[in-house]
Amino acid sequence: MLEVSPIRAFYDNYFWLFREKTSHECGIVDPGDAGPVISYLEANDLELSVILITHHHADHTGGISALRERFDMPVYGPESPNIPEITYPMRDGDIIDVLDTTFRIIEIPGHTLDHIAYHADGLNGQDAILFCGDTLFAGGCGRVFEGTHAMMHQSLKKLADLAGETKVFCAHEYTMANLAFANAVTPESSTLKQRMEVEQERRNRDIPTVPTSIRIELETNPFLRCSEKEIIEAASAYSGKALNSAEDVFAVIRSWKDNF
């Protein structure tokens, strides 16, 4: 069974360390800084054997070179000139086997043009898991920096189509801010309010609110609900015009969140 643990870094980043519970070998997702990773490895007597990268931003890639100098391991990531440390460039639909786990690559551009996710489907007794970087967050989604709103909406639809029990490991602790915005969009949602209480209790005890799940996000994340009447009405009211497509709704609420 794959065990996934957070390594906290910077102000709100999570680098995700994964391994089989009985193994000393492990992998790391998006190590923006080598220091916290090395400290964790030494404290837990672990050997790093693979790096997975979702996109090129420095808080996700800054530790690659130092880690490779120390451990000399493969680095999987998007086919991107922005990440020269990648040794195995990945494209949509590619399959990789690392640490006895099979991941399928999903291209999810929008936040950046080179963004990918790693999805394990939960077969053979494993949990279904998703490492999605800065595209889908607990209660929200990433800013659209390099792509278009339509592109980001399509990327999120790909992730929303995954099995509901899929555990979602995003890269930042943004949950309470995201849920505050979700509450502005859907202030009558009792399901959302219940989630806010649960997540706030976790934060009060300094417990990560991640992983979330696809099912929870479909219930409470407005960015995955752009075809639903409640979200359409809120976005139309905010924009001051009738909105006719889910892509238009997404563009409005993403811009709304940018200025929230």
d(Cα 137, Cα 144) in Å, to the nearest integer? 13
C-alpha torsion 249→253→258→260, nearest 10: 160
d(Cα 132, Cα 66) in Å, to the nearest integer? 23
d(Cα 192, Cα 148) in Å, to the nearest integer? 28
Asked if 136 and 156 touch (Cβ cutoff 8 Å), the reply is: yes
Per-residue pLDDT of the chain (260 residues; tens, 9 = 90+): 789 999 999 999 999 999 988 899 999 999 999 999 999 999 999 999 999 999 999 999 999 999 999 998 999 999 999 999 999 999 999 999 999 899 999 999 999 999 999 999 976 667 899 999 999 999 999 999 999 999 999 999 999 999 999 999 999 999 999 999 999 999 999 999 999 999 999 999 999 999 999 999 999 999 999 999 999 999 999 999 999 899 999 999 999 999 99
The CATH architecture assigned to 2-177+208-213 reads: 4-Layer Sandwich (3.60)
Written as one string, the DSSP assignment of 41-53 is HHHHT-EEEEEE-
Query: Any idea which residue has 């502005």 for tokens?
Result: 184
Residues contacting 210, CB < 8 A, separation 6+:
6, 14, 138, 168, 169, 170, 173, 175
Q: Hey, what are 145's tokens?
A: 């920096």
Task: Say how many C-beta atoms besides its own lie within 10 A of residue 150's C-beta.
Answer: 16
> How far does Cα 5 stand from its chain's mean position?
14
Domain ranges for the chain:
2-177+208-213
pTM > 0.75? yes
